[in-house]
Amino acid sequence: MRPISTIGFDADDTLWESEIYFADIEKKFSQLMRTYGVEGDIGDYLYTVEKENLARFGYGVKSFTISMVESAHHLTGGTLRSSDTMQIVQWGKELMNHPVKLLPGVNETLQSLKNAFSVLVITKGDPFHQHQKFADSGLEIHVTEVEVLQEKNSAAYEKILSKRKVNPEEFLMVGNSLRSDIFPVIEIGGHAIHIPHEITWQYENENAEAGPRSNYAVLESITALPNFLNDYISAEVT
C-alpha cells in the first residue's frame, strides 16, 4: 500500500460558501414570480430548465442567470416585464461579485497539510469565476495547483492524476458532493472523504443511492481532517 501523497479539495461548499448565495437568489426569484401570480414549485421549474441548459451552457453563474431569464419568461406566460428581466441580470452580477467567505477552519487545515502533502483544489464550473474566487480566497499559499474541470467524472480525475504521475491509491479527495467528489474517485481506486454541507445544490447529490455505500469516510467539518488523516494513514500502513 502506497501512502497518500496528494489531497484534492473541492472548492464550492467545501472550502468556501457558494450554494447559500444561489439559494438566496432563488428565493428572491420565487418571490418575484409570485408577484405575477405564478403558482406551484418555482424552484423545481427553474431546476429543470437549469439541467436542460447544462449540456448547452455548462455550470456556473452565467448559465444560471440565463436559465432564470428563460424560466421567468415561461413561468409568467410571456408577460415578464423588462425591469424584472434587468433585475435577474443584476442578480447574476451579484452572484459573480459576492466576497469569498471561507468555511470555518479551512485556512488552518490547509496550512497544516501543505508540508506533508501536495494540496490540489479540484473544482468545476466557470473557470473565470473559480479562478477569481481562488485569488480572492487567499489560499494560494497553501495550494500546489488549481484545476477547474468541466465535469468531475472518473476520466477527469484519472487525467489529473496521470499528468502528475500520482497513483489513485496515493490520492485522497475531500468534498461535499457525492456525485462529483466521492463516487468518481472511489471508482478509480482513490480515497474520498465526504464533508456534507448544510446546503448543497440538489444536482450534486442526485442519484446518491446508486453510488457505493462504503469505501469513503464522512466528516462533519474540515477541521477534523488532520486528526482523521493521522489515524487513517496509520490504519492503512499497518
Reduced to 3 states (helix: H, G, I; strand: E, B; else coil), residue 192 is strand
State the Cα angle at 190 between 184 and 194, rounded to 5°.
65
Nearer of residues 36 and 232 to a second copy, judged by Cβ: 36
Residue 70 makes contact with a second copy by CB under 8 A: yes
Task: Tell me how far apart the alpha carbons of residues 42 and 120 are, in angstroms, rounded to a whole number.
Answer: 37
- Of the residues 2, 27, 34, 73, which one makes contact with a second copy according to CB under 8 A: 73
Contact (Cβ atoms closer than 8 angstroms) between residue 179 and residue 203? yes
Spatial CB neighbours of 101, under 8 Å, sequence gap ≥ 6: 16, 17
User: Does residue number 51 form part of the binding site for a second copy (CB under 8 A)?
Assistant: no
Nearest residue to 52 (alpha-carbon basis) of 203, 157, 176, 177: 203
Quick check: 99 binds a second copy (CB under 8 A)?
A: no
From candidates 2, 34, 51, 131, binder to a second copy by CB under 8 A: 131
| 226 class by beta-carbon count within 10 Å (0-12 exposed, 13-18 middle, 19+ buried) | middle
CB closer to a second copy out of 112 and 132: 132
Q: How far is the CB of 33 from a second copy (least distance, A)?
A: 13
Region of 12-20, 86-94, 193-201, 229-237 interacting with a second copy (CB under 8 A): 86-94
Which residues here bind a second copy, judged by CB under 8 A?
Answer: 56-59, 62-63, 65-66, 69-70, 72-73, 76, 78-83, 85-86, 89, 92-93, 96-97, 126-129, 131, 148, 150
